Amino acid sequence: MTSRSTPPRQIVFEPSSCSVSDTPPTVLTIAGSDSGGGAGIQADIKTFAALQTVGTSAVTALTAQNTVGVSAVHVAPPELVERQIRVVLDDLAPRSVKTGMLATSEIIELVAAFAQEGLLPNLVVDPVMIATSGDRLLTEKAERFYAEQLFPHAAVITPNAVEAGHLCGRTLRSIGDLHAAAKQLGASGADYVVIKGGHIDGSQSVDVVWDGVESLELISARFDTVNTHGTGCSFAAAIAAELAKGSPKLDAILTAKRYIGDAIFGAKDWKVGQGHGPVDHSIQIRCV
């Protein structure tokens, strides 16, 4: 048998003409993993990438979940969470940090210790405390740690109306209630308080922002969609991404509001899973 003399066909790839010379800033998320990909660490990383930052993570818990619900949770040992945070801080120097599901009082206390040392710059705290079902995810001790130990070191905190009501000790039923609660939570020491108003009835969705001096209402349309899984995570992650890029806090909040509104609208007719599907984290890329 004779060997083939014809050389193999070759396809040569060259770098595209699109390149960015400046190194994008790094962002760290400390949160739980969502196997369904719509919330938690996965949503944060997608948001960081969409907003042109480098995402890193410290996983606090593994969850088995999909668009229908959560079937199992395995909390990471605090020692492992600490090691993840420390190695990212030592090597990758994140310019902002976002927290999501911290799972236990021990992990909240651990993260707070880093914050107290000034090691978590531009800290955005999304206090994941209440499940979609209304069930409490944390002990009273852990909830207290959020307010007492994390909030004082936060650039922005982003509770929804249910979480804010829980922190304030009362049910929030109106936009006026959101304003009062935002001022109350502002006394914790956080630079900005954003209470997400999606749980408040009305033809529009109204978020309330408090900066320690004045209130601001961020108003957007409500969309008839079930694809809202991960909106809170993604909103807070977007704020963190913008802070890492050097945006002033209010500008970061406004950009994040636009981003999540577009992401919800972009996915409003999707059919991903049988329950609450994800938002379109890549909306800005798709619409270029």
- Can you give the length of the chain in residues? 288
H helices, E strands: number in the chain: 9, 9
**Are the beta carbons of 209 and 193 closer than 8 angstroms?**
yes
Other CB atoms within 10 A of residue 94 CB: 24
Catalytic residue among 36, 40, 55, 232: 232
> What distance in Å separates the CA atoms of residue 230 and residue 281, rounded to the nearest whole number?
10
**169 contact partners, CB below 8 Å, separation of at least 6:** none
Catalytic residue among 37, 230, 261, 277: 230
> What distance in Å separates the CA atoms of residue 113 and residue 236, rounded to the nearest whole number?
21
Catalytic site residue 233?
yes
> What distance in Å separates the CA atoms of residue 179 and residue 275, rounded to the nearest whole number?
32
Catalytic site residue 230?
yes
Other CB atoms within 10 A of residue 126 CB: 30
Pairing of strands 215-221, 204-210: antiparallel
> What distance in Å separates the CA atoms of residue 91 and residue 106, rounded to the nearest whole number?
25
Catalytic residue among 46, 98, 196, 245: 196
- Residue 129, amino acid: M
Catalytic site residue 47?
no
Catalytic residue among 231, 245, 249, 261: 231
> What distance in Å separates the CA atoms of residue 189 and residue 123, rounded to the nearest whole number?
12
Catalytic site residue 287?
no
Quick one: CA torsion of 89, 257, 184, 118, rounded to 10 degrees? Answer: 10
* Token couple for 24: 């994008």
Catalytic residue among 26, 228, 245, 266: 228
Catalytic site residue 228?
yes
**Are the beta carbons of 195 and 171 closer than 8 angstroms?**
no
Residues annotated as catalytic are 196, 228, 230-233
